[in-house]
Structure formats: structure tokens, C-alpha cells
Amino acid sequence: MTRNIIHIDIPDFHIAVERVLEPRLRKRPVAVAIETTTRSLVFSVSGEARQNGVFPGMPLYQALKNCPDLIVLPPNEELYVRATRAMMEIVSRFTPVFEPLRFGHAYLDMTGSGKLFGGVKDAAVKAQREIRNRLRLNAGAGVAGNKLVSKVASDVVTTSGEHHGLCDVRHGYEENFLAPLRVGLLPGVKKKVREQLLDLNVRLIRELAVISSENLQMVFGRFGLLLHRRARGIDNRPVQPPKRAPEIVEVDTLDDDSNDYYFLRSRIFRLLARAARRLREKKLRTARMVIEIHYSDYKEDSARRRFTPCNDDAGLVPIVNNVFDRALGRRVRVRKMTLRLCELSPEPAQLSLFAKEKNPKLGAVTSAMDKIRDRYGEDAIRFGRAA
């Protein structure tokens, strides 16, 4: 069955939500940033601020130098979460299969829903109208046969200044639509990849699409194959509704943003100690770990890994090391870290005949550590790397 995907995008989401509450901010250069230090970075900017040379990720002092009239607002994450939830409530009325991407973004899978909402383009227009009428927010939309092209289509709309426009890419025209666009519009083509492509004199997607996947893999490794598929508009990923599978989550919001690797690693080890202890209390094991890094400019990175089910500290320590190093992909300061233990299963009542026997001394040590924490608190005994 041919898929029909909509990508909804509220551009400059943080600024747009703030302007709903404070109309005086409209048509003014606005940025969201923490003003606590001279090294603070800008999280989000309005179109007017961009015209004055202010961009996300720029140091705040430089932004104020470029635009002396810049209005600086502190981040209000609670407000952004509420607005996103309200948006998801609206889009859920059009399809049960929707995937929140981040603040103000969502994929809607409209495949097979034509009898309920008409054509997919009509459904996109209705969703935009609902968001505008109920939330007073303008949303751009991209319509296509897969997630990749619908996302790029919505980006084309919003970057052109049409904050409530719509771009419809017909089935079979995905590669033709992408061809004249710059490579930076492809998901995953961030600064480092973009610079490498510029070194190869590749600026447009059509120039990337004609390079063989073998040659791209020589430069970019396994990502080269994915890059080749994306340049041709090929994307088989399903729209994934919010997961409700049980998981153990530990979150650490830092008092002060930091990019000190050893400090951040010590904090992630503390999260692991708490999560692993909760696993053992519930007599569960985990087979997948996810670490999410939330940067000070409100961008995010994550990494994950599957492994043989376990719940002891000794088994999880080398895994958290590996996942953390892969998740921390930027030199920007970090404001929050999230550790998730997923794919939970109960501890087996009896070991399999062919299972590797667990070291009884290791189990005794783990049990003793848990008892010490029960009596004296979480910080009574910690990983050396969490000190």
C-alpha cells in the first residue's frame, strides 16, 4: 500500500509560543537564552533576529553585539511541553498513528484514512487550521510518501517564510523534488558532513545522488549508504507512535550547563547506579540502554545499545561507557541527561541449562552494596567514576 505521510512543523516554536502569551514580542527580534554567564548560547531565534545576524548556537554576547535591540527570554520548558502536548492532542484526532519528533514537530501516517478525512492534502490543511484556531500557532506542513521527503518538504515551506504553507510531493516525484535543493536540507547532514561534501564539491542533492553508494561509503563509512538512499528520496521507516512499553528512566538536570567530559560521565554513572538498583528491587533485567543528551542550545543527541539481559552493576558499567561516548557527539554544553533501561524482563526463576553461570561472589557484592545504600543513602557507596 502506498503510504501518505504528513510532517507538521511549527517554525521557531519557542518564540511562537512565547508570542502567544506576549503579543508585544511580535515582529521584534527575539531570542531564547540563559543570561547567567557570558558564555551562554542562544537556543532559539525569531525570523527578525535572523535578519540581524543572530542564529541558534551563537554565543549570547555575540548575538547582542549583532543585534543591540534583541529581546532575550529565559527558557520556559514547562510552557513548551504544554504547548507540544496540546498540539499532539490535535493531530491525534486525524490519525492514531502519529510520532512526536521534538517541540512543535510531528509525523502523521494518513495511509488508508482517506474515507475519514478526505485526501491527505486536505487532512494537512485541516490540521493546520485546527492548530491555528485553537493554539494561535502557525504550522507548516509537508506531504509525501515517506517521512524523509515530508520532513524536507515542510522545511522548504518554513525556510521560505511561509509559516503556515504546505508543500505536497506527489508519489514517484521524490527524487525530482529533492534534486535542486542544497544538501544541508537532508536529515543527518550536519556541519561536519556538510563540510566533507563541500570538499567533494557537492552542494546540491542531485550532485550527491549521482555518486555511487560504494564511493560514499569510502568517505563516510556505513553512513554513506544511508546518505545515498536519502539523496534519492528513499525512506522505509515507519511512523512510530509514542512508546508505552515499561522502562526505567533516570533524569539529571544540571544546576549549571557543562561540557566537562569527566564531570558529565560521573553524573551518568550516578544515573546508572540508581536505575540498576531499581531494576533489582523490581526483580527485573534490562536488554537495552538508551542515553539522551540535551544540550544548552536545545538540540539533542542519543545513542542506544542492545545486550544480553542483566541487572548487575558490573554487567552494565561497560555498556554505559560505550553508549555515553557515542551519545555525547558535540562540544556544546549539556543541560540535561536521560538514561533509559528498556526491554525489561523478569529475572528467571531458574537458570537455563546452557546459560553461563553467574559469579556468586559478584551477586553477593551487589546485594551488599544495595543494603548499604538502603541504610545510609544513595551516596554512601558509588562507582569510582561517579565520585
Residue 362 host element (H or E):
helix 360-376
- pLDDT single digits (tens) 282-320: 889 999 999 999 988 778 899 999 999 998 888 899 999
> Does residue 311 sit in helix, strand or coil?
coil
Q: Give the list of residues 6+ apart from residue 110 with CB closer than 8 angstroms, or none.
A: 4, 5, 6, 94, 95, 117, 120, 123
Q: Is 161 exposed, middle or buried (0-12, 13-18, 19+ CB in 10 A)?
A: exposed
At 78 the pLDDT is 84
pTM (two decimals): 0.68
Give the type of residue at 2: T
- pLDDT single digits (tens) 243-288: 666 889 999 989 888 999 999 999 999 999 899 989 988 889 999 9
> Does residue 340 sit in helix, strand or coil?
strand
Cβ atoms of 293 and 300 within 8 Å: the answer is yes
Radius of gyration of the chain (CA): 24
Cβ atoms of 338 and 249 within 8 Å: the answer is yes
At 353 the pLDDT is 39
* Residue pLDDT tens, the chain, 387 long: 689 999 999 999 999 999 999 999 999 999 998 876 656 788 899 989 999 999 888 888 899 999 999 999 988 888 998 999 999 999 998 888 899 887 889 999 998 876 676 789 999 999 999 999 999 999 999 999 999 999 999 999 988 777 678 999 999 999 999 999 999 999 888 888 889 999 989 999 999 999 999 999 998 888 899 999 999 999 999 998 876 668 899 999 898 889 999 999 999 999 998 999 899 888 899 999 999 999 887 788 999 999 999 988 888 999 999 999 999 988 889 999 999 999 998 876 544 433 444 555 555 555 665 555 555 555 555 555 544
CA 55 to mean position of chain CA atoms? 19
Domains of the chain: 1-170 (3.30.70.270), 172-241 (1.10.150.20), 248-386 (3.30.1490.100)
